[in-house]
Amino acid sequence: MNILILLIRRAFSAFLTLALTITVSFFLMRLAPGGPFDQERRLPAEVMANLKQKFHLDKSLIEQFWIYVKGLTRGDFGPSMIYSDFSVSDLVFQGLWASMQIGLAAIGVSLVLGVLLGALAAVRMGGWLDQTLMAFSLAGIAIPTFILAPLMSLVLAVHLKWFAVAGWGDGGFYYLTLPVVALAIPQIGIIARLMRGSMADVLTQMHIRTAHAKGQHPLLVVSNHAFRQSLFPVISYLGPAMAAILTGSVVIERVFAIEGLGRHFVQGALDRDYPLVMGTVIVYTTFIMLFNFVADLLYVLIDPRIRETGNE
Amino acid sequence: MFYLSKSLKAAAVLALLGTSGTFGAAQAETVLNRDMGVELKTLDIQKMHLLAEHEFAADLFDGLLIRDADGNIKPGVAESWDVSEDGLIYTFKLRDSQWSNGDAVTAGDFVFAIRRILSPELASKYASTLYPITGAKAFNKGESADPDTIGAEAIDDKTLKITLSSPTSYFLDVVTTTAMLPLHQASVSALGSEYAQPGKLISNGPFLLTESRPKEFALLTKNEAYWDAAEVALDKVYYYQITDEATAVRKFRAGEVDITRGSQGDNNAWASQNMPEAVQNATILGTEWYDLGHATPAIQDSRVRRAINMAIDRFALTEDILQTGEQPAFGLVPPGIPGYENASADWADLSYIERLEEARKLMEEAGYGPDKKLEFTINFNSSELHRKSAVALADMLGEIYIDASPYNRDSSAYWDWLISARGEYGLARDSWVADYPDPVVFLELYMGPLVADVNGNIDETYDALMNAALAETDTAKRMAGLAAAEARLMEVDTIVPLYHYNSVRLVNPQLTGWGNNPYAMHPSRYIAFK
Amino acid sequence: MSDGVTLSQTNVVVGKSLWQLAFARFLSSRFAVINLAILAVIAAVSFVAPLIYPHSYATVYREYILVPPSLTAYPDQPMTEKAFSRLMRAGRYQVESLEVAEDAVSATITARKPIKVETLNKAFALGSMFQEPQIITQSEDGKQLEITAAINRQYFVFGTDENGRDLLARIMAGGRISILIGIAATLTSIVIGVMYGAIAGYVGGRTDAVMMRFVDILYGIPLMFFVIVLVTFFGRNILLLFVALGAVEWLTMARIVRGQTMSLMQAEFVTGARVAGLPMWSILRRHVLPNVMGPVVVYATLNMPAVILAESFLSFLGLGVQEPMASWGVLIADGARRMETASWLLIFPGIFLILTVMCINFVGDSMRDAIDPKR
């Protein structure tokens, strides 16, 4: 019942979010100087006129918006203005496929490692292990991906030849290990810190102390009570983590020459490929909302108290 | 041997296995991995526009005329050709050759392709290349809907007649471009733009399109039905599309690609230091210059323009900033165009110190000095190289009482801005690369009223000189007339030329058949492994 | 929903003594003080040192392009020779002989025309390496001179960049921009977030629901992408960067403040003030804001490194500040391209950025521990 209300509410706000995103990004983009056909090799006026007519760019902005929204209601994201062989849906879903694979792998890796390292640090709070782990996780957050990724590629691929320098290849470990790890490292750091913080909180709470008093083994205490409860902040971080990983993939996809959503987005914005940028933004928005929603669901499933209020 | 291509290594391993064990094992394939440096925007050759795309198209299709590895024109599908006395009618005799599906390549296929690329609905960016053909421009603009008005006619299956609207000395160069490649009429008519997809594309060149992953790679395999297939050494060619320069260099170092543009941003410093034998450097037909904003009052002062032009130390720019052997420019047209004698600025012979002294004097005459500096922006589109150049320019202009600040826009915004600014700026970056060796390609950029869009300067004297030269039918006189126009361009300081382009590629030294040419065209058909 | 920082939501600070206690706790942690000291040094290097440092971030030393970091003064011999030959080429003089000593060069030069001293001086004035030349002997036709010129020695402790600008000076300038962007964006997010959250929490009810629903909606939008769109499309204005990054970061702040405000609304001194009929603004100002400031400051501190990193991310995409200005992000992005051929361009700005981000984080952690002593 409450889950149903949650679902309806979410669907409604998702619709609002999408509508807002689409409208704002459409007009924001058109306010910008330059168009898809302004380039270093200037086009003759005749050619330019043909191109503009083909993509309705000669019509008024409102008309263009109307055409676009009409297309959307049919599930048509329009043609790419730059990649003329493809519709935006082709490009975006191809890109999504690649980005999702490395993105989900990175989320998985960072969840497992982050939670483990964070829990370890919390149990050994204040000790050398804790301090080393925390210093490393902070370093993981502080070193920009665009330094770490080329460095990894240089050392591990060019010099040691353990992995491929770049490219999707066959989609196996040889090709995708580096991008996934580079994408995961900052998230491992963040999740480890979150986990440590929340677990430390939980460990100091009274009932844990009581459990201790009853003479249970400390490790058992950790696994039984504290662990599950400490996961809450980590779970609610899932949505922002996905957003961060999608943002990070902009760099990773460029450094590792992977044709993902991030590359489509940045190249699209630079090329002023309006429909492509719109397509990627819509997909991004949907995904971030989806992950926020999954996080909420997990929350509700883990903690029965929240089911009562249905929110927060 | 660390740059040995991985594919080649695999081949070597296979070869070893072959001798030791398996009898008559299939010969190892030779695979070339090349990086385009840009994303392939389309597979439809008639929508292609960039140099890298033309290279790709030349691997798939064979035109009437083609270029050899050194850039010289040689017969392709055309066995022979005639030009009429008045230079207006070109008649090509086609050899017997086949499409990849076995159909004969006919003159009709060429006529079909020409009509298609010129159709306004296709909106091809490269269509204007064919404007010398009579009726082409009107058809492309939609003024004439009748394709018969285009001067391209199939006399019979093996004879193609092209009629020009006026004599065009470089027309044979036009014939070698992507715009004049044939298309397989039946499949293109049936499939529309889909015709170019892997598995569907019927081509007549040395390679066939086997696979394409957008923004990642396109895979080409040898076309056994190609008329000159015996000369093609490679079995497979991968065209990778790597946009990050540093990544491209790393891939090259790891042997994952054999050919790449490398990194322009750092002048391929690593490769030049560590593997100079892999750096291929060729002068191409291109120029980098800055437009002077003629609509800005301060720039309208001819003394200021001259001073700016003189104060730029082009040698310092090419040697310290670019470091890859570019040629300093004192005019718009790049050197190396046959029959053309470049007209450079008359102050080009002065020493830099003399120029600087003169420039300071001019600025002082114009009312500037250490306490009254001229301020303006140096506009350019984002790129490490442009940024470094702009910073160096600002520093050099500091010598002559100019306080110039670099201003950077992303590419699309920049080119749009340049047109709409109409000369209301200090300096604005500009460039051009020619597809065929004719000074007009560069010089027509400054003919009014087109030029009004770029720097706000319509020079009637220049237009008169250009029109006179263009009306000339005698090649030598025409070239002399064009040189006079270029001299005028520099005389009134319309632009600030900086340097002429080089094309730098990192090429696996194990490759043979690499020729450096002014068109930056390196088709795979000439390339083989040692 | 917790948002990265776990703060005790019921922690109500009343009066000054608790603040003083927290401050004392903070100072008692040696680790926190060390981090704070490092930050102070970095800030001093960025904001104060330029006043006394000899190089400016914008000065181009044409003779010193990409020189490696060194504690000894430049130029070395090959540099001197190269710079000298450049000057001679600029003046079209031929070098017959050249001798480079520790602090002077002496040379015999010829020209096709008689050499004018004035012109010669101008040639030497071109760069910064040599002082005005002294003429030792002059041939009768004036076409050959024997000259000597003193060398200006300069230090480039961190080396120079591809245009010949001192890297340390650029790191200082970059630090100013990066730190200012961090502070300004964080302040923007505090202002918007605190106002929004406090109003929502105070008014409550339907208004609160609508306001929070709006925050939820914005959470669903990939805001970093909007920043990219904004910056690509409207140029790289520093101000725009501040505002855009700040506008992205206020959401979490609003949620935290709302939660705190709601719990405060139950506190006696607030209910009392409401009963007394004080207007909303003065209740918020006097009773609510001082009490939410603790978590706000902690969150803001932890948020600042994220903003600094976000700016460097934009710089990597080529969307950084305009030349000749720099930010650490811009410098690092440049250095990353030169990783192997001029590693100092990456290492030094990298150290500054990473150190700053880590120290701010540690300080934020310590502040949280100090304010929330239950840990």
Q: What is the pLDDT of residues A20-45, one digit of tens each?
A: 888 888 888 887 778 888 877 778 88
pLDDT digits (tens, 9 = 90+) for B78-112: 999 999 998 899 999 999 999 999 999 999 999 99
- Rounded CA separation B28/B18 (Å): 9
Q: How many CB atoms lie within 10 A of CB A219?
A: 9
- Spatial separation of the C-alpha atoms in residues C48 and C50, rounded to whole Å: 6
The CATH superfamily assigned to C35-53+159-371 is MetI-like (1.10.3720.10)
Name every chain C residue with its beta carbon within 8 A of the beta carbon of A194: 4, 6
For residue C313, the Cα-to-chain-centroid distance in whole angstroms is: 13
Question: Residues of C with CB below 8 A from A145's CB?
Answer: 313
Distance CA C171, CA C192 (A): 31
Give the Cα separation of B136 and B164 in Å (integer).
Answer: 9
Q: What's chain A's length in residues?
A: 312
Highest mean pLDDT pick, B4-8, B311-315, C87-91: B311-315
- Residues in C touching B320 (Cβ below 8 Å): 62, 65, 164
Q: How many CA atoms lie within 13 A of C59 on its CB side?
A: 15
Number of neighbouring beta carbons within 10 Å of residue C155 = 14
> Which chain C residue lies closest to A11 (C-alpha atoms)?
C217
C336, A25: Cβ pair inside 8 Å?
Answer: no
How close C155 comes to chain A (CA, Å)? 28
Residues in C closer than 8 angstroms to B244, CB to CB, are: none
Distance from CA of B213 to the nearest CA of C (A): 24
Give the pairing type, strands B236-240 and B31-35: parallel
Measured CA to CA, the distance from residue A228 to residue A250 in angstroms comes to 33
Do B11 and B29 form a contact (C-beta atoms < 8 A)? yes
The 8 Å CB, 24+ separation contacts for C69-73 are: C69/C156, C69/C157, C69/C158, C69/C159, C69/C167, C69/C344, C69/C348, C70/C155, C70/C156, C70/C157, C70/C159, C71/C155, C71/C157, C73/C153, C73/C154, C73/C155
Residue A179, chain C, CB below 8 Å: the answer is no
Average pLDDT over all residues of chain B: 89
3-class state of residue B191 by DSSP: helix
3-state secondary structure of A271: helix
What pLDDT, in 10s, does the model give residues B420-440?
888 889 999 999 998 888 898
Residue C12 has pLDDT above 80, yes or no: no
Q: For chains A and B, what is the number of CB pairs under 8 angstroms? A: 149
Q: Which two tokens stand for residue B196?
A: 């170019």
Q: Give CA–CA dist B38/B51, Å, rounded.
A: 10
Q: Where in chain C is the domain with CATH 1.10.3720.10?
A: 35-53+159-371
Give the confidence band of C125 by pLDDT, cuts at 50, 70, 90. Answer: confident
Please indicate whether, in this complex, the C-beta atoms of C89 and B270 are within 8 angstroms of each other: no
**Can you tell me the mean pLDDT for C130-152?**
90
Spell out which residues of chain A touch residue C346, defining contact as CB-CB under 8 Å.
147
Q: How many CB pairs under 8 A join A and C?
A: 131
Residue A246, both tokens: 């999608």
Say what the pTM is. Answer: 0.86
| Bridge partners for C147 per DSSP | C107, C135
The CA distance from B161 to B411, in Å, is 41
Give the nearest chain A residue to B434 (CA atoms).
A41
What are B368-383's pLDDT values in tens digits? 999 999 999 999 998 8
Structure tokens at B136: 């082409």
Q: Are A287 and A234 a contacting pair, CB within 8 Å?
A: no
Q: Is the Cβ–Cβ distance between A21 and A284 less than 8 Å? A: no
- Write out pLDDT tens, residues C293-316: 777 888 888 788 888 888 888 888
The number of CA neighbours under 13 Å toward the Cβ of C223 is: 19
Question: Residue C9: phi, psi to the nearest 5?
Answer: -80, -15
Cβ contact (<8 Å) for B250 and A154? yes
If one counts every other C-beta atom within 10 angstroms of the C-beta of residue B181, the result is 30
ipTM: 0.85
Pairing of strands B528-529, B511-512: antiparallel
Q: What are phi and psi of B447, to 5 degrees?
A: -85, 135
* 3-state secondary structure at position C101: coil
**CATH class for the domain made up of C77-150:** alpha beta
Could you tell me which residues come within 8 angstroms of residue A141 by beta carbon, excluding any fewer than 6 positions away?
A186, A189, A190, A193, C305, C309, C357, C361
Q: Within 13 Å of residue A179, how many CA atoms lie on the same side as its CB?
A: 36
Among C313, C358, C361, beta carbon nearest to A144: C313
Question: Could you give the CA distance from residue B464 to residue B461 in angstroms, rounded to a whole number?
Answer: 5
pLDDT value for B8: 43
Two tokens at A82?
């730059």
Give the number of other Cβ atoms within 10 Å of residue A198's Cβ.
Answer: 22
Beta strand B495-507 with B327-328 is antiparallel
Residue type, B106: T
Please say if the pLDDT value at position B11 is more than 80: no
Confidence label for A240 from pLDDT (cuts 50, 70 and 90): confident
Q: Would you place residue A127 in the very low, low, confident or very high pLDDT band (cuts 50, 70, 90)?
A: confident
Q: For residues B429 and B409, is the Cβ–Cβ distance under 8 A?
A: no
- Per-window interface: C 74-103 vs B, CB < 8 A: 86, 89-92
- Report how far residue B163's alpha carbon sits from residue B83's, in angstroms, rounded to the nearest whole number: 10
Q: Give the pLDDT score at C160.
A: 94
CA of B246, closest CA in chain C: separation in Å? Answer: 6
- CA distances to B72, B102, B108, B406, B457 from B227, rounded to whole Å, are 20, 11, 19, 54, 51
Best residue in C229, C249, C298 to probe A by mutation, most A CBs within 10 Å? Answer: C229
Q: Which of C324, C299, C340 is nearest to C170 (CA)?
A: C324
Question: Is the confidence at residue A210, as pLDDT, over 90?
Answer: no
Q: From residue C23, give the alpha-carbon distance in Å to each of A4, C27, C360, C369.
A: 48, 6, 16, 11
Q: Would you report the helix, strand and coil content of chain B in percent, each value rounded to 5? A: 40, 20, 40
Is the CB of residue B289 less than 8 Å from the CB of residue B278? no
The residue with greater pLDDT, A179 or B457, is A179
- The pLDDT confidence band at residue B221, using thresholds 50, 70 and 90, is very high
State how far the Cα of B250 lies from the Cα of A159, in Å rounded to an integer.
10
CA distance C221 to chain A (A): 5
Instruction: Let me know: does C340 contact C315? Beta carbons within 8 Å.
Output: no
CB C314 within 8 A of CB A251: no
Work out the average pLDDT over B178-201. 92
Distance CA B239, CA B11 (A): 19
Of B354, B357, B395, the CB nearest to C60: B395
Amino acid at A165: V
Å from A154 to nearest chain B CA? 7
Residue B232 token pair: 């093609």
> Which C residues, 193 through 252, put their C-beta within 8 Å of a C-beta on chain A?
213, 216-217, 219-222, 224-226, 228-230, 232-234
Q: Quick one: what percent of chain C has pLDDT higher than 70?
A: 91
A80: tokens are 């790419």
Partner residue facing A166 (CB), from B140, B251, B413: B251
Q: For residue C225, give the nearest of A150, A265, A312 by CB distance.
A: A265
- Contact state of C229 with A25 under an 8 Å Cβ cutoff: yes
- Specify the residue for token string 């500009």: B430
Of C216, C215, C244, nearest to C228 (Cα)?
C244
Q: What confidence score (pLDDT) does residue A302 get?
A: 67
Q: How far is CA B415 from CA B128, B387, B388, B402, in A?
A: 19, 16, 19, 25
pLDDT, tens digit (0-9, with 9 covering 90-100), for B34-64: 999 888 888 999 988 888 899 999 999 999 9
Task: Report chain A residues whose CB lies below 8 A from the CB of C334.
Answer: none
Chain B residue closest to A268 (CA)? B412
SS3 label, residue C283: helix
pLDDT in tens, C76-86: 898 999 999 88
pLDDT of residue A308: 45
Give how far the C-alpha of residue B283 lies from the chain's centroid of Cα atoms, to the nearest Å.
12
Crossing angle of the two packed helices C223-234 and A261-271, in degrees rounded to 10? 30
B433 interface with A at CB cutoff 8 Å: yes
- Angstrom distance (rounded) from CA A227 to CA C337: 43
The SS3 of residue B151 is coil
Give the gap in angstroms from C-alpha B9 to the nearest C-alpha of chain C.
27
Which percentage of chain C shows pLDDT scores above 90? 27
What is the per-residue pLDDT for B216? 87
Tokens 């591990």 appear where? A156
Beta-carbon separation of B214 and A83 below 8 A: yes
Query: Nearest-CA residue of chain B relative to A258?
Result: B216
Whether pLDDT at A161 is above 70:
yes
Output the CA–CA distances (angstroms, integers) from residue B301 to B181, B294, B347, B374, in the order listed. Answer: 48, 9, 18, 12
User: Residue A209: its pLDDT value, please?
Assistant: 61
For the ranges A82-86, B226-230, C63-67, C323-327, the lowest mean pLDDT is seen at A82-86
Tell me if chain C has a CB within 8 Å of the CB of A257: no
Q: Cβ of A40 and B381 within 8 Å?
A: yes
The partner residue sitting opposite B353, judged by closest CB among C122, C319, C342, is C122
Q: Are B159 and B195 in contact (CB under 8 A)?
A: no
Secondary structure letter of residue B334 according to DSSP: P
The kind and range of the H/E element at B150 are none
Query: Where, residue-wise, is CATH 3.30.1360 in chain C?
Result: 77-150
